[in-house]
Amino acid sequence: MKEVALLYDADYFLGRSQNLYNYLTSIYRDLHQFPELSFQEKRTSSKVAEELKKMGIEVKEKIGGYGVIGNLKGAKEKPLIALRADMDALPIHEETNLPFSSQHRGIMHACGHDAHTAILLGTAQILSEIKDQLSSSVRFIFQPAEEVNEGAKAMISEGVVDEVDEIYGLHNLPILETGKVAVKSGAMMGSVDKIEISVIGNGGHGAIPDMSIDPIVASSAIIQGIQSIVSREISPFEPVVITIGSIHGGSSYNVIPNEVKIEGTVRTLNLQTQRKIEGRLRELIENVAKSYRCSVKIKHINMVPPLVNWEDNVDCVKKAASQIVGENNCMEAQPVLAGEDFSLYLQRKPGAFFWLGCKPKKEEEVFGLHHPKYRIDESCIPLGSAILAMLVYMRISEIL
Ligand code: NI
């Protein structure tokens, strides 16, 4: 870090974010009440665009679906620093009983993307107020469809990060105390693959199996066999999960069906391992099916790669966050195999993704992400805004 006197310091960004508390929580509660599923974020995105325009930020809409970008011009075009928030909700029926619970039946912001959106609007507001002092430019990326792993891909294909020099994002974490941040360099979140298998036999009477080819018995052998890839072919020091989450076949106790459909997911922290498993899954499934006289159709979809943080940018996050929450509150993150399509930006551009604590104060209100009773401590919102504003300001002032 250079020894340069900052025109704006942590107290300034914290103070501004606290002044925005009511504005930010009202945005958050509004979005929470009207959640929208992936690629349907129409209301959310127009709200975001409207707020950015009020701040005097140049706005582009309908990018990669309902994606929005805001460009805040500093003295120079480059370096261009991007910040990203996701906006979509989940097909979950909310059970929080909050006064601002979801008004959209069966849809819930159970991953806190409403908070991410409010946080980034807060950062945009804070930085727009000091735009004359910004030596280069900032891009705010409001992304649709993170939950289906499609939104980042769609926005990237429209060139939103082509000009970007580095990119940062965050995710709330309801098991981490509010006021804490967790980050690590290298792989922090898992790759996501989806596998769809059709095991095809030849149906018939359940009492005359010798006249049939039974895809149910073959499927059970396939599902058992798959786990041996994890236990026998991958180093025990390498985190890998293969989960079969769905199996459908047959409609009666005494009929052998023609076909069984199986779906599952593969998670790793390493691109080579991801590829290796993909190849071995195909071999194992085809050969086991064949040994049971069945044929198979396999569709293996690489949804997102592992999320791998860039070391230098993680350093920047740690330094900026330390200014806001204190060095002792910046923790080393434990990797998880949940996926996050921010990984696609990090494959193209340097940057970092971090966890922001949002643990509710009452223990009985703590539920994990994607839980119907999930909720956040709203005071994480201005803190998130302040951290991102501090990070960008320090980066473009070349202090980090
Ligand atoms: Ni999420």
Write the pLDDT tens digit of every residue in 137-172: 999 999 999 999 999 999 999 999 999 999 999 999
Note the pLDDT of residue 258: 98
Listed in sequence order, the residues at least 6 apart from 55 whose beta carbon sits closer than 8 Å to its beta carbon are 70, 124, 125, 128
C-alpha of residue 254 to centroid of ligand 1, in Å = 44
Tell me, what's the pLDDT at 4?
52
Q: Express as a percent the part of the chain with pLDDT over 70.
A: 98
112 CA distance to ligand 1 middle (Å): 6
Task: Indicate if the pLDDT at residue 1 is higher than 90.
Answer: no
Fold of 192-304: Alpha-Beta Plaits (3.30.70)
Which residues have CB atoms below 5 A from the ion given as ligand 1? 111
Using the mean position of ligand 1's atoms as its centre, give its distance from the Cα of residue 146 in Å: 7
Q: Cα of 307 to ligand 1 centre, how many Å? A: 13
90 C-alpha vs ligand 1 centroid, how far in Å?
9
* pLDDT value for 397: 85
**Is the pLDDT assigned to residue 103 strictly greater than 60?**
yes
pLDDT at 399: 67
CATH superfamily of 10-188+306-399: Zn peptidases (3.40.630.10)
Q: How confident is the model at residue 5 (pLDDT cuts 50, 70, 90)?
A: low
Kind of pairing between the strands at 58-63 and 67-72: antiparallel
Is it the case that residue 233 has pLDDT exceeding 70? yes
Find the 390 Cα to ligand 1 centroid distance in Å. Answer: 23
Note whether 198 and 114 are within 8 A (CB). no
d(CA 272, CA 74): 40
Alpha carbon of 392 to ligand 1 centroid (Å) = 22
pLDDT in tens, 176-195: 999 999 999 999 999 999 99
Mean pLDDT, rounded, of the chain:
96
Q: What ranges do the domains of the chain cover?
A: 10-188+306-399, 192-304
Q: 377 C-alpha to center of ligand 1: Å?
A: 16
